[in-house]
Amino acid sequence: MFSPGKTKEKISKAYSEKKLMMAQQSLVKEMGLNKFTLAFQGDNEKRFMERYFYDSLLQVRISFFLVTILYGIFGILDNIVVSEYKHVFHLIRYVGVVPLLSFVLIFSFSEHFKKVWQLLLFVSFLVAGMGISIMTVLMPDNYLYYAGMMLIFFAGYFFIKLRFFYAFIAGWLTLLGYNVAALIIFNVDKITVLANDFFYISANLIGMFAAYHIEYYARRDFFLKQQLDRQKLHVEEINKGLEEKVKQRTRELELQNIKLEAAKNRAEQSDKLKSAFLANMSHEIRTPMNGIIGFANLLNETESKEEREEFVKIIVDNGNHLLNLINEIIDISKIEAGILELNLREFSLNELLDELHKFFLSDKNVMAKNLEVRCKKGLPDDQSVIIFDRTRLKQVLINLMNNACKFTEKGSVEVGYYLNAGQLILYVKDTGPGLDEEMQKYIFERFMTATIDSTPQQEGSGLGLAISKAFVNLFGGDIWIESKPGEGSIFYFNLMVENGAGKLFKDETYNTKYDMEYNWQDKVILVAEDVATNYLLVQKSLRKTGVKLIWAKNGREAVDECKKDQQIDLILMDIRMPIMNGLEATGIIKSIRKEVPIIAQTAYAMDGDRIRSLEAGCDDYVSKPIDLKSFVELIAKYIDK
């Protein structure tokens, strides 16, 4: 009866058998075996034979031991059944075969055996076979010795571990030897020889095919084990890689945690500072406002001219104070919004310092505390002409000088500058109270005064240093302090400026050659930078290399430049820019021109910017203030590929 279930079973069985056969065929191919000799290709054969030798050695010894004894013991049979050729039989056994087999057995303990073992086994098979052949030829009517021949085939093919291919040659040579001896030399009856050949050929065929399969499977096992070992190694390597990745990821996470913790602390601190600032601000604004409103009211009521003049002066003073405060807040807001522009022009730095010196000689703090005000100029007047934003630079110096005069009770205040490694370093030094390390960490933060927890002793919003720092950063420089409590303070800041002759100071003071070593005349760099001074700085830094620059003033312009079909070998990407920031621009550019390397320009100490820029796809970053040498070297790394 037709059963669909059974048919389905049959089909699926046939299908899986077919699959198995196909797998077998592809394995044979993969193994690269010579189908006739069963030898592997190349080094694998050497490795297999090495393995085969050690796996076989014990069996070789046991087989030779047994075969030698048996070959010897059969001499007893000669005594009983052989009469005429007994001495020839004994000669074959005890002078020929047994010594040879014994020698191989003993030699198997030598280290040289490995080199010739298969040859010796082959010779042994052949000699033992020939020995019996001669015996059977000499006594063709005695069938006992034909059984001996079978034993020899048996041992040669399966027992002594001779490789299939050699056993096959030895087996057929023995057969040939027997036929030659029987038919040509000793004229044995043809029917007897034919009958024997039937058996011998069968024995050879069986031995051959069986030995072939035994060796094939030994080789297949070897091959599969090799593959398994390789895969095991591969898995171990993957595991190792995974472990390493997990470790690395853990490290990264730990680092991120530390950063998050620091950010959280900063945010908390900033929050605290903001609240303190608001409280201060309210106080700061109310105080002058109280004065203005109070004295304005009084103005109506008083008749005395002196009193009126005095009240007007108080109102004007308070108004000025309020105006200062509002200006500071506006500056901070402008910086925060990124819309503060630098107004570059040529002026004499020495003149500016002289002006400040004069101005502070009549400062109320200086006069009240009788402070000495000094001014140290680092260059002769004719070389001190620079191109910069005079107003902003003056503002920073006034902030620092104001603080110095405000907080110093006795001694001196000094303003000055000098050149260092091609940079202009300006400083304001005082003999005031100084600041401990803890305070030094925070004074540049917005809304910070050293007296955050209490009512300020000195008037001040806590914005002066924050504004100064923001300005200096905007100039591409940095500001820092050296101070110890009780030993005064020095506030430094560095600037990369041009002098009047259109050269950086660097050229006169430092004769470095690094930028001349590069010739990038055929290269193009796209500079995405919103601040003109910073672009100018890049331009001047790279001018000797001959590189062509394209200036994009914001992220959108940078993307547009990249969309044009033009050569761009590298992009310098400022992160904070109006319209479209550097991170967003990088993302878009990398999606359209993946091959162009992008170097982010991040503000000094803004760790977050660096990480974010790399995440956005930037290849590297450079921190502002830029160190010229490493800046050019970094560009070379990408552009000189």
Binding stretches for ligand ADP (CB under 6 A): 399, 403-404, 407, 430, 432-433, 435, 443, 448-450, 460-466, 489
Please, which residue, 472 or 572, has the CB nearer to ligand ADP? 472
Q: What residues form DSSP beta bridges with 388?
A: 345
Q: Tell me: cis bond preceding 625? Omega within 30 of 0 counts.
A: yes
The minimum distance between CB 315 and ligand ADP, in angstroms, equals 23
The minimum distance between CB 443 and ligand ADP, in angstroms, equals 4
Amino acid present at 469: K
Please, which residue, 465 or 558, has the CB nearer to ligand ADP? 465
Residues with Cβ within 8 Å of 146's Cβ and at least 6 positions away in sequence, in order, are: 136, 196, 199
Please, which residue, 17 or 409, has the CB nearer to ligand ADP? 409
Cα dist from 476 to 211, 454, 544, whole Å: 85, 35, 21
Secondary structure class of 326 (helix, strand, coil)? helix
Please, which residue, 161 or 392, has the CB nearer to ligand ADP? 392
Please, which residue, 115 or 441, has the CB nearer to ligand ADP? 441
The minimum distance between CB 286 and ligand ADP, in angstroms, equals 17
User: What is the spatial distance between Cα 397 and Cα 540, in angstroms, rounded to a whole number?
Assistant: 26
User: What is the spatial distance between Cα 144 and Cα 163, in angstroms, rounded to a whole number?
Assistant: 28
Question: Helices (DSSP H) in 143-189: which residue ranges?
Answer: 144-154, 164-179
User: What is the spatial distance between Cα 444 and Cα 542, in angstroms, rounded to a whole number?
Assistant: 32
The residue written with tokens 């191109």 in the block is 387
Task: Report the candidate in 514, 536, 527 with the shortest Cα–Cα distance to residue 599.
Answer: 527
623's enclosing H/E stretch is strand 620-624
Q: What residues form DSSP beta bridges with 552?
A: 528
Please, which residue, 433 or 587, has the CB nearer to ligand ADP? 433
Please, which residue, 100 or 371, has the CB nearer to ligand ADP? 371
The minimum distance between CB 261 and ligand ADP, in angstroms, equals 26
The minimum distance between CB 333 and ligand ADP, in angstroms, equals 16
Amino acid present at 223: F
Please, which residue, 38 or 443, has the CB nearer to ligand ADP? 443
The minimum distance between CB 314 and ligand ADP, in angstroms, equals 22
The minimum distance between CB 256 and ligand ADP, in angstroms, equals 31
Q: Taking the CB of residue 149, how many other CB atoms lie within 10 A of it?
A: 23
What is the b/e burial string over 376-400, where b = at least 16 CB atoms within 10 angstroms of the residue's CB?
Answer: ebbbeeebbbbbbbbebbbbbbbbb
Please, which residue, 449 or 554, has the CB nearer to ligand ADP? 449
The minimum distance between CB 291 and ligand ADP, in angstroms, equals 19
Rounded to the nearest 5°, which phi and psi values hold at 482?
-120, 120
The minimum distance between CB 264 and ligand ADP, in angstroms, equals 24
| Distance, first Cα to last Cα, the chain | 79
